[in-house]
Amino acid sequence: MRIHLIAIGGAIMHQIAITSARKGHQVTGSDDVIQEPSRTRLLEAGILPNKEGFFAESVTPDIDMVILGMHARFDNPELAMAMELGLKVLSFPEFIYENSLNKKRAVIAGSHGKTSITSMVMHCLKDQNIDFDYLVGSSVAGFDYSVRLSDAPIIVIEGDEYLASPINKEPKFIYYKAHIATISGIEWDHINVFKTEEIYNAQFAKLVHSMEAGGILFYYEDEKVASIVKNLRTDIEMKSYNAIDYVVKDEIFNAKVVDEIMPLCVIGRHNMENVQAAKHVCEELGMSESNFWKAIQSFNGAGRRLEKIIEEKDRVIFKDFAHSPSKLRATIDAAKENYPTRHLLACFEMHTYSTLTEEFLPQYQNTMNAADTALVFIDKKVIEKKGSVLFTEGVIRKHFHRDDLILFTDISDLENFLNQKAVLNPVYLMMTSGTFGGLDLKTIGQPVTEIVMPIEVKSVDNILPTYSTNLRLSLDAEEKRNAILLFSLSYLFFIIPSLWWFFKNRPASSPAFYNLMVEFLNFQLFSSLVFVISMYLNQLIFLPLYWFPWIFHILYTSQAIRRLSMQLMLDLPQGPSIFMPKVDKS
């Protein structure tokens, strides 16, 4: 069979192209942009298009089937030619269904957790040598590809609620016609397509209606999910589920199975819920409960889902795909539950269309509360590309409901801040569906082992701890706030009491007192200049020079009080006695 794929460079589309070629089909394709790893994989398979772009002449009458990816536009010239020629045009979910008509189809759906559950099921089936096909939206350890189509009697599919194609504007998962379905949770997402929460929720009702009669649905035990799916069908079985019994010990999550404790490689309550869902699916596919527990213990997680990329004594770094509110909250809660005594620094890149839409921001309220330090990063280049408006820090803090949240829009400033926090020996939790502006996450907080300056050279860098950024080019936001606070307090402590004393005693004041007050106020102006100079010098060397004006205030004021007492013959307490009550013994 000759198959042509429009938008062949997609994450799933290029894998379908490769697996179809492996089955012996003649495969061609086209796309206007093909990025890694799709490009290299297509090249190795010998089906990389000769040039990028869509060309009507690429579609000819001898093509048996056209598979249309969602990335293609409705006015695509190749699609128009295929329609004109009357060729068979399918979305990739329809193609998957056609290749699994005689298989038992297990579809894992939900706003969050579906990739992890699908990966768990795949891992356990492989561990028990059960033959199966699959489609998953992420890389899974032990599997070279994300799509497999063979003669296996089972297929496990990650079911996406997004639209199938430009001409099939229904959710992908309804085309699979599941025998076994799982809904891990429902939370409004993809607001560029589903304009209201009600419209989004309705897509999961469609999934239930699309299931084969006699099938079984496992859904997360939640009032919202239950209200959407219950009583929709009487010819399928419905079972709710919750997290497995577990206990956290020595930063390890352990499943409690009867009287036995089984250590797991994944962390977080949400993953304990995912394990439960995977267990139900595996048992429905014929696996015994004991074999499931043997297999799941070696599961290390799906790609980009709480993926631990660095674990050292002084730093732990996780990378996660979290971007929706529920994923954000669950991921942060999981990291904090696993590391309750460590400083958790959670950094979230707002990257998707939904996250960069202000009407969606209220959904993020309290999602980052479990983090000790909460950061949000927005890449200005992404904003320009998507045509969105750059949020202010005040707007972000308001909707996240966290006053100490810090917003970064420059990747260098973010990297500096992360490196400065290395002294806390933190757990870094980096969450994004993007790339953090190309930042190499493995280098965050990494000590520099190479000596970059001879010892004999006199420099402050020789005596201070050095991290991956050797120079402090700017103060972080917290230090700036501290500096401003100190500067403000200096005026509260020294100007306001002085002015109050000045005006209160003005009628009885002597010229000496007036002269002293004028000198004191002139000093405040001079101190302001010292403060500005100190802040500038702090950009050049790693020293908190903005403390200098504060110390200067204390020393000068002490001298001013002594002179005041001498000139006006005042009996003022000196030294430590200023803190002691004065007792009249008479």
Please write the tens of the pLDDT for every residue from 472-494. 434 455 555 666 666 666 656 65
Range in 82-91, 210-219, 425-434 with the lowest mean pLDDT: 425-434
Q: Which of 112-126, 191-205, 535-549 has the highest mean pLDDT?
A: 112-126
φ/ψ of 545, rounded to 5, equals -70, -15
Residues, the chain: 586
- 239: closest CA among 203, 283, 195? 283
Phi-psi group of 222: left, alpha or beta (phi > 0 → left; psi -120 to 50 → alpha; rest → beta): beta
Q: Using 50, 70 and 90 to split pLDDT, how confident is the model at 456?
A: very low
pLDDT at 545 exceeding the cut of 60? no
Q: Are 344 and 335 in contact (CB under 8 A)?
A: yes
Return the axis-axis angle of helices 548-567 and 477-504, rounded to nearest 10°. Answer: 10
Q: Using 50, 70 and 90 to split pLDDT, how confident is the model at 468?
A: very low
**What does the pLDDT read at residue 460?**
41
- Which DSSP string corresponds to 390-456? PPPHHHHHHHHT-TT-EEE--HHHHHHHHHHGGGG--EEEEE-SS-GGG--GGGTTPBP-S--S-TT
Consecutive H or E run containing 218 = strand 216-220
Spell out a b/e string for 459-493, using b for 16 or more CB atoms within 10 Å of the CB, else e.
Answer: eeeeeeebbbeeebeebbbebeeebeebbeebeee
- 41: closest CA among 27, 25, 58, 57? 27
> In whole angstroms, what is the distance from residue 8 CA to residue 68 CA?
9
pLDDT at 447 exceeding the cut of 90? no
Q: Using 50, 70 and 90 to split pLDDT, how confident is the model at 552?
A: low
pLDDT at 387 exceeding the cut of 50? yes
pLDDT at 209 exceeding the cut of 90? yes
Q: Are 244 and 230 in contact (CB under 8 A)?
A: no
Q: Which CATH number fits domain 2-87: 3.40.47.10, 1.10.3720.10, 3.40.50.720, 2.60.120.310?
A: 3.40.50.720
**What does the pLDDT read at residue 561?**
63
Spell out a b/e string for 9-38, using b for 16 or more CB atoms within 10 Å of the CB, else e.
Answer: bbebbbbbbbbbbeeeeebbbbbeebeeeb
pLDDT at 86 exceeding the cut of 90? yes
**What does the pLDDT read at residue 382?**
77
443, two tokens: 């280098």
Just give the CATH number of 307-462: 3.90.190.20
Mean pLDDT (the chain, rounded): 84
Q: Are 297 and 265 in contact (CB under 8 A)?
A: yes
Same fold for the pair 2-87 and 307-462: no
> In whole angstroms, what is the distance from residue 154 CA to residue 566 CA?
96
List the chain domain ranges.
2-87, 96-296, 307-462, 477-579
Consecutive H or E run containing 273 = helix 269-284
Which residues fall within 8 angstroms of residue 458, CB to CB, at 6 or more apart?
none
**What does the pLDDT read at residue 325?**
87
Q: State the sign of the Cα–Cα–Cα–Cα dihedral 384, 388, 392, 398.
A: negative
> In whole angstroms, what is the distance from residue 44 CA to residue 40 CA?
6
pLDDT at 451 exceeding the cut of 50? no
Percent of the chain with pLDDT over 70: 75
159, two tokens: 């079911």
pLDDT at 127 exceeding the cut of 90? yes
Q: Are 79 and 89 in contact (CB under 8 A)?
A: yes
Mean pLDDT of 312-335: 88
Q: How is domain 96-296 classified at the architecture level of CATH?
A: 3-Layer(aba) Sandwich (3.40)
**What does the pLDDT read at residue 220?**
95
